[in-house]
Amino acid sequence: MKRAFLIFLVITLPVFLYAQDLNLIPYPQQVKLLKYNLPLAKHCRFYTNNNRFNYAVDYLNEELAFQDKHAKGPLQKILINRDTTRGISGAYTLSISGGVISIQAPDSAGVFNGIVTLLQLCRSAKTEGAKIILPGVTITDQPRYQWRGFMLDESRHFFGKEVVKKILKGMAFYKLNRFHWHLTDAQGWRLDVKKYPLLTTTGGIGNFTDSLVSAKYYTQDDIKEIVNFAKQRNIEIVPEIDMPGHATAANHAYPIYSGGTTPGFENFTFNPGKEITYSFISDILKEVKGVFPGNMIHIGGDEVTLGIKGWENNPDVKKLMNERGFTDYKQAEFYFLKGIADTVQKLNCTVMCWDEAVAAGLPTNRVMINWWRQDKPTVLTEALRDGYKVILCPRLPMYFDFVQDSTHRSGRKWGKLYNSYTNVYHFPENSLSDTIYSHGNVIGVQANLWTETVVSEKRLDYLLFPRLAALAESGWTNISMKDDRLFNERLRMHLNYYIKAGIYYYDPFNPGYHKEPVDKKSKQEIQD
């Protein structure tokens, strides 16, 4: 028996180790190494006869162009087959065998994921002279979660098209497929709305560190360009128009819709007691829908309590309370959210909200919740009990504006707790019970990056990498496959890609390699 086991180990171990040598992040569910490798000319161009997927092959060629930008090398075909019997959305089989590269997948998400795996294999392939040696493999793979998201706050600081594209490229490389774009908040309104030009020309002035900086925002053409760029990379963009709180920039532009002021939170809310507020927002959402052809709109709903005292002296809110028999301002808040959720659904879109909305009693059908308050686990269980679809993005460990090492000086903490890449990698099983993370309505995970302390691209890089790689495995990889040592080995190789791409990453293996960029120190998180 023992002998048989030893023989088994001797036979399987080298294959297993070698398989993990493939520097793939997220690591696939099943990798079978085959005997014969496939040598390819370094400057080959890939193509497919399945024209529907030209965009995915174009992406592959573009990402590999660094190998030889201008060469028009030999052509290498990729056989692409859509086969709807082949598993869940995003699943794929990639085979490199007998000189043939083939991808089979049930849908275009799966085809793209197969292409990304091929890209990573090409990037890490050994070279021999003018050839790269692709390993012979059969990779059968599927995601653990359908929603693998990342949120960027561009209200507090605006980064612009090129930076957003760079993030989208990083996301695509890690098979992350949802970009939640926080476009409006107290410090700036970043989305051009043609019917209300002051939203950007006035509301786009300022940021968290300089209230007088010139207006910065995206035109509708910019948005369309970015939406298309994302789509080519299997990423859907979910725009967030935060309301009724965090609305200061909009109220600055159009004070008539303000719900009033309370110390420290000037014009923080929209006025829920005025009919015209609803038509104003409805007009905005129609334009949002026009430029974001996806079918999801995030309406915020978070932290309204910060400004709700402003409603106490507001005659419109008083009138609403009297007419509806409300006894608590929370009822006015939830009345507002219900009205807006209804508008979004009439636009044929799914509504997304932060987890405060669970208490609002929205219809659960076509409403998704971002659970972010890790100190309020009952909100998560209530959301699931009520039948909402839920995305897990708790501050610990999924807020990337938190520091990632105890010695870091800029960024948030929760008491002494912070968000190391290892904690991200092991999420959600390191934080939640299996009845939660395996619940059918938990559709995925997401990291959020708030930018109060992030002014420079350097700091943005530092907070994102390598946590984005860890996020990829959090969303993709089954628990049984997770292994710190093996992940670290692969991550070390990926740091080389960051160097080539000029990314200012945090190196957890050599923390001094890049100094922590400090744009702005922040106070420790205060529990609300």
Q: Binding string to ligand ACM for residues 314 to 353, with x set by CB under 6 A, is what? A: ----------------------------------------
> Of 354 and 506, which has the nearer Cβ to ligand ACM?
354
Closest contact distance (angstroms) between CB of 427 and ligand ACM is: 17
Closest contact distance (angstroms) between CB of 480 and ligand ACM is: 32
Closest contact distance (angstroms) between CB of 412 and ligand ACM is: 10
Closest contact distance (angstroms) between CB of 202 and ligand ACM is: 24
Looking only at residues 473 through 502 of this chain, which bind ligand ACM when binding is defined by CB under 6 A? none
Closest contact distance (angstroms) between CB of 303 and ligand ACM is: 5
Q: Which residues pair with 239 in a beta bridge?
A: 181
> Of 174 and 354, which has the nearer Cβ to ligand ACM?
354
Shortest Cβ contact with ligand ACM: which residue?
302
DSSP state of 202: T
> Of 372 and 465, which has the nearer Cβ to ligand ACM?
372
Closest contact distance (angstroms) between CB of 375 and ligand ACM is: 12
What burial class does residue 72 get, using C-beta atoms within 10 Å of its C-beta: 0-12 exposed, 13-18 middle, 19+ buried? Answer: exposed
Closest contact distance (angstroms) between CB of 83 and ligand ACM is: 40
> Of 280 and 372, which has the nearer Cβ to ligand ACM?
372
Q: Binding string to ligand ACM for residues 365 to 384, with x set by CB under 6 A, is what? A: -------x------------
> Of 112 and 354, which has the nearer Cβ to ligand ACM?
354
Q: Does residue 135 have a cis bond before it (omega within 30 degrees)? A: no
Give yes or no for a contact between 380 and 439, defined as CB atoms under 8 angstroms apart: no
- Characterise 32 by phi-psi region: left (phi > 0), alpha (psi -120 to 50), beta (else): beta
Helix axes of 54-64 and 108-124: crossing angle, nearest 10 degrees = 20
Residue 400 in the binding site for ligand ACM (CB under 6 A): no
> Of 107 and 242, which has the nearer Cβ to ligand ACM?
242
> What residue ranges in 169-312 does DSSP mark as E strands?
178-182, 236-243, 296-300
Separation between Cα atoms, residue 430 and residue 364, nearest integer Å: 28
What is each CA distance from 319 to 271, 276, 305, 334, 492, in whole angstroms?
12, 14, 20, 16, 61
Separation between Cα atoms, residue 445 and residue 466, nearest integer Å: 17
How big is the site for ligand ACM, counted in residues (CB under 6 A)? 4
Please provide the DSSP assignment of 21-35 as one string: HS--SSPPSEEEE-S
Please provide the DSSP assignment of 442-455 as one string: EEEEEEEE--TT--
| Residue 72 backbone dihedrals phi, psi, to 5 degrees | -105, 85
Q: Binding string to ligand ACM for residues 48 to 87, with x set by CB under 6 A, is what? A: ----------------------------------------
Residue with tokens 């028009």: 72
Separation between Cα atoms, residue 411 and residue 420, nearest integer Å: 13
Q: Would you call 377 helix, strand, or coil by DSSP? A: helix
Residue with tokens 């507002």: 336
> Of 268 and 372, which has the nearer Cβ to ligand ACM?
372
Closest contact distance (angstroms) between CB of 196 and ligand ACM is: 24
Closest contact distance (angstroms) between CB of 58 and ligand ACM is: 36
The C-alpha R_g of the chain, in whole angstroms, comes to: 24
Residue 150 in the binding site for ligand ACM (CB under 6 A): no
Q: Binding string to ligand ACM for residues 286 to 315, with x set by CB under 6 A, is what? A: ----------------xx------------
Closest contact distance (angstroms) between CB of 16 and ligand ACM is: 41
Closest contact distance (angstroms) between CB of 242 and ligand ACM is: 9
> Of 270 and 354, which has the nearer Cβ to ligand ACM?
354
> Of 27 and 372, which has the nearer Cβ to ligand ACM?
372
Separation between Cα atoms, residue 268 and residue 183, nearest integer Å: 16
Q: How many beta carbons lie within 10 A of that of residue 328, not counting itself? A: 10
Closest contact distance (angstroms) between CB of 302 and ligand ACM is: 4
Which one, of 301, 114, 90, 105, lies nearest residue 178 by Cα?
90
> Of 292 and 354, which has the nearer Cβ to ligand ACM?
354
Closest contact distance (angstroms) between CB of 317 and ligand ACM is: 22
Q: Take residue 289 and report the two structure tokens written for it.
A: 């829908």
Q: Take residue 304 and report the two structure tokens written for it.
A: 């309204």
| Residue 90 backbone dihedrals phi, psi, to 5 degrees | 95, -10
Residue 354 in the binding site for ligand ACM (CB under 6 A): yes
> Of 53 and 372, which has the nearer Cβ to ligand ACM?
372
Q: Take residue 40 and report the two structure tokens written for it.
A: 């390819």
> Of 302 and 316, which has the nearer Cβ to ligand ACM?
302
> Of 372 and 400, which has the nearer Cβ to ligand ACM?
372
The alpha carbon of residue 88 and the mean position of all alpha carbons in its chain are separated, in whole angstroms, by 21
Which one, of 280, 205, 201, 191, lies nearest residue 244 by Cα?
280
Contacts with ligand ACM by CB under 6 A lie at: 302-303, 354, 372
